[in-house]
Amino acid sequence: MARYRLQLSYDGRPFRGFAPNEGVPTVGGALRDALEKVLQHSVPIVCAGRTDAGVHALVQVVSFDTDKPVVLEALRTSLNSLCRPHIVVSDVQLVADDFDARFSCKGRSYRYRILNRRLPDPFRKDYTWRVSLPLDVDQMQAAGQLLLGTHDFSSFCRRQFEVFGDQRVEKPRTRTLRSVGWTRQPDDEIQLVIAASSFCQQMVRSITGMCVDVGLGVLAVSDVPSILEAKDRKAVQRVAPPHGLFLLQVTY
């Protein structure tokens, strides 16, 4: 058996997230189907971060094992032919047996794009969230800074469970947020770049939604600590839509 690492990007619009799920189109399902067609055996895959339905990735990393001989460039070409047009594999590497796309990953970062203007843009409607009222980026940045460090982000994450034997155990929602940066870009765009060791489900979209409410004046910056301390999913009223979110970078 040898272990390989794929680097890919994808448009998340046609997919119901990354994780393979029988009966619905997913990024992982399409990639796994392509790998199995090429390699002619079952190919479990591991990814750096499972993106939600409709979320995009500029960089995603996947690892898998095979005992079949692999010509790296030929595999990349075959996968791109089978996965086009919404998934593109940019690199295939042979890696050490102890490499794991998920557990070897030291950090993940996301970008969220907001179109902040009254009129829509037909060429950005699938990749930005249009907020028609003016946003105060300075207040949004101040709100984000209050989330830095290690916290229980239960107010910002969906509850998830793991099954151990006959027990159903809730996954912890404590994460270490390393950076939050809101910036105003040309052409009426506002962007968030956010980095952490890892994120829980809907965490980035919930932080984005809360910061937008601060930028609109619906919430005050001073409200953020109490929202964080509440550890209650109902404390965050707005969750940003998925189509403005991009997995930006993973580090090892």
Across the range 89-105, mean pLDDT stands at 97
Residue 241, preceding bond cis, omega within 30 degrees? no
Query: Do 238 and 216 belong together in one domain?
Result: yes
Q: Looking at the DSSP assignment, which residues form a beta bridge with residue 196?
A: 108, 177
Q: Let me know if residue 114 belongs to a domain.
A: yes
Q: Let me know if residue 102 belongs to a domain.
A: no
Is residue 172 very low, low, confident or very high in pLDDT (cuts 50, 70, 90)?
confident
Residue from 129, 106, 118 nearest 246 by CA: 129
Asked whether residue 142 carries a pLDDT value surpassing 70, the answer given is yes
**Residue written as token pair 């997995």:** 247
Is residue 8 very low, low, confident or very high in pLDDT (cuts 50, 70, 90)?
very high
Among candidate residues 52, 91, 100, 136, the one labeled active-site is 52
Query: Do 70 and 114 belong together in one domain?
Result: no
Query: Do 89 and 120 belong together in one domain?
Result: no
Q: Looking at the DSSP assignment, which residues form a beta bridge with residue 150?
A: 176
Query: Do 84 and 132 belong together in one domain?
Result: no
Number of domains composing the chain: 2
Asked whether residue 13 carries a pLDDT value surpassing 70, the answer given is yes
Query: Do 22 and 64 belong together in one domain?
Result: yes
* Residue 223 appears among annotated catalytic residues: no
Query: Do 171 and 199 belong together in one domain?
Result: yes
Q: Contact, 237 vs 213, CB < 8 A? A: yes
The whole-angstrom separation of Cα 54 and Cα 14 is 7
Q: CB atoms < 10 A from the CB of 146, how many? A: 16
Q: Which domain holds residue 116?
A: 107-251
Across the range 96-125, mean pLDDT stands at 97
Last residue of a domain, one of 64, 95, 126: 95
pLDDT digit string (tens) for 174-225? 999 999 999 999 999 999 999 999 999 999 999 999 999 999 999 999 999 9
Q: Let me know if residue 100 belongs to a domain.
A: no
Q: Contact, 238 vs 212, CB < 8 A? A: yes
Average pLDDT, the chain: 96
Q: Let me know if residue 101 belongs to a domain.
A: no
Q: What is the CATH number of the domain that holds 202?
A: 3.30.70.660
pLDDT at 133: 98
Query: Do 65 and 137 belong together in one domain?
Result: no
The whole-angstrom separation of Cα 31 and Cα 181 is 32
The whole-angstrom separation of Cα 216 and Cα 75 is 48
pLDDT at 230: 97
Last residue of a domain, one of 95, 117, 136: 95
Last residue of a domain, one of 95, 116, 142: 95
Query: Do 135 and 49 belong together in one domain?
Result: no
Query: Do 86 and 162 belong together in one domain?
Result: no
pLDDT at 166: 76
Query: Do 119 and 184 belong together in one domain?
Result: yes
Q: What is the CATH number of the domain that holds 67?
A: 3.30.70.580
**Percent of the chain with pLDDT strictly greater than 70:** 99
**Percent of the chain with pLDDT strictly greater than 90:** 92
Query: Do 25 and 127 belong together in one domain?
Result: no
Residue 85, preceding bond cis, omega within 30 degrees? yes
pTM for the full predicted model:
0.93
Per DSSP bridges, beta strands 56-66 and 245-251 are: parallel
The whole-angstrom separation of Cα 66 and Cα 79 is 15
Asked whether residue 122 carries a pLDDT value surpassing 80, the answer given is yes
Q: Contact, 108 vs 35, CB < 8 A? A: no
pLDDT digit string (tens) for 145-163? 999 999 999 999 988 767 7
